[in-house]
A and B are shown apart, each in its own frame.
Chain A
Amino acid sequence: MRFAAEYRDGTIGRAIARRLADVVDPDRLYKLMEICGGHTHTIYKYGIGSLLPANVELVHGPGCPVCVIPMGRVADAIAIARQPGVILTCFGDLLRVPGSDGTLLDARAAGADVRIAYSPLDALRIARENPRAEVVFFAIGFETTAPSTALTLLRARAEATSNFSCFCNHVTIGPPLRALLDSPDVFLDGFVGPGHVATVVGSAPFEFIPAEHGKGVVIAGFEPIDVLQAVLMLLEQLRSGRCEVEIQYVRAVTAAGNQRALEVMDTVFALRPQFEWRGLGFIPDSALRLADEFAEFDAELRFGVPGVRIEDPKACQCGEVLRGSIKPWECKVFGTACTPERPIGTCMVAAEGACAAYFNYGRLAAGARAPEAVG
């Protein structure tokens, strides 16, 4: 947590880049998946790609909670927002995710009361300040964010805020990784693990990856040095024939995680038997709903939602991008029919979506990719 400056030091970064060049086998190709939207952001923001050896490739996996929301759930949220007296609150990136009939931003332009919340507590405050409105929080995020929603619901119950409810779309990190590793068209050599999810869940939930699939995982922080160190640790595992879960982000991550957070999540949420992930299909036990004891705060029970499954547009290849099978620029509609201003799929909507990140930063990473470090 401290010393962010030293974790952004370019001299240290270039020194690690030189060690990477020493550690790789020049005759093989390495494909490492980084799962987390924050890592995608760091990689592009700091040009990490240009510091890696030419035969080391970073692939973006399904760790962006906005990217994986299927259109049907967005349509449900829009249906809730359109109901009279409702204030729908959500995180900013969600405003532009396309449902079947436009986005939440379009719904707002047409008169729905849709507001941005910077945290679920924000949404609860809006409920307190608008006692005659029904305030609904469109909750998304992995286990990093779920505890925040859980505490907010505990507080809502303690304060008897009856005009507050939650449209819960929290997802868990383990099952999509399992689904990904079980699919045939994935060729990966290791994973850069999600540092803040692991702060909550610990490193233990990732043990199945080396144990059952023979791939290493290094759980990384979010500064550029963190990501470079994690890549180095993965390459060193591969060189020495090891395969294990390691923690690079020791400043924040322990094997056991945050027990209190896990307990609070256990109290407030229950696992859905299955949940649809954009591009990955239905995955069992991969998402959370409100536990029965919190049913009074469940927006899906309070409001009628269509609950319709909406097919992704035929042209959309988000699924393949999320699985790491293709790079963003290999999608047929990338940069033509699908751009940040007119996104077809959510990989282009979210700031950390693989396609959005590549559209905005990729030209430089591509142009500058070289074995020696930049500068």
Chain B
Amino acid sequence: MHDACGHTGGCAICADDAIAMRVVETAPPLQGARCVTADGTAALVLLDLVDAEVGDQVLVHGGVAIARAAR
């Protein structure tokens, strides 16, 4: 229904969505680190706001990890 956001899928930002992803590679500050969803889709995510290592699960919103799951 809404441009670029599909219809019922909604806009991830406007809906305050966040996705669980797993860290595959870390990166220097303010650089995107490679993370994957459970389905294996990869994206570059900024990890600057969490203490995350390779293998950690993080919650991602707007290209940024806002929380890390307990190990």
Contacts and interface: CB of A to CB of B under 8 A. Distances in A.
Contacts of A349: 2
Interface string A178-200: 00000000000000001111011
B20 A2 contact: yes
B32 A121 contact: yes
A38 B1 CA distance: 16
Contacts of A151: 30, 46, 48-49, 64
Interface in B35-71: 38, 44, 46, 48-50, 57-59, 61-64, 66-67, 69
A121 B30 CA distance: 10
Contacts of A2: 20, 57, 69
A63 B50 contact: no
A239 interface: no
B4 A92 contact: yes
Interface size class, chain B: 35 or more
Nearest to B64: A148
Q: Give chain B's interface secondary structure class.
A: loop
A85 B47 CA distance: 33
A228 interface: no
A196 B61 contact: yes
Interface in A113-141: 116, 118-122, 140-141
A220 to B, nearest CB: 11
A158 B14 contact: no
A140 B66 contact: no
Contacts of A142: 16
B63 to A, nearest CB: 4
B24 interface: no
A147 B16 contact: no
A4 B20 CA distance: 9
A351 B66 contact: no
A154 interface: yes
B13 A360 contact: no
A340 B22 CA distance: 37
Contacts of A252: 18, 59, 67
B14 A1 contact: no
A142 B15 CA distance: 10
Residue from the set B6, B12, B13, B44 with the largest chain A CB neighbour count within 10 Å: B13
A144 B63 CA distance: 11
Given A1-B20, A2-B69, A258-B50, A119 B63 contact: yes
Contact of B10 (A41, A195, A196): A41
Contacts of B32: 121
B62 A148 contact: yes
A148 B61 contact: yes
A261 B5 contact: no
A213 interface: no
A195 B13 CA distance: 13
B17 interface: yes
A237 to B, nearest CB: 23
Contacts of B62: 119-121, 141, 144-145, 148-149
Interface in A4-63: 4, 36-38, 41, 45, 63
B66 A144 contact: yes
A91 interface: yes
Contact of A1 (B9, B13, B59, B64): B59
Interface of A: 1-2, 4, 36-38, 41, 45, 63-66, 91-93, 95-96, 105, 116, 118-122, 140-142, 144-145, 147-149, 151, 154-155, 158, 194-197, 199-200, 222, 251-253, 258, 260-261, 264, 340, 349-352, 356, 360
10 contacts: A41-B15, A92-B4, A118-B12, A120-B62, A121-B62, A121-B63, A148-B62, A148-B63, A196-B17, A351-B7
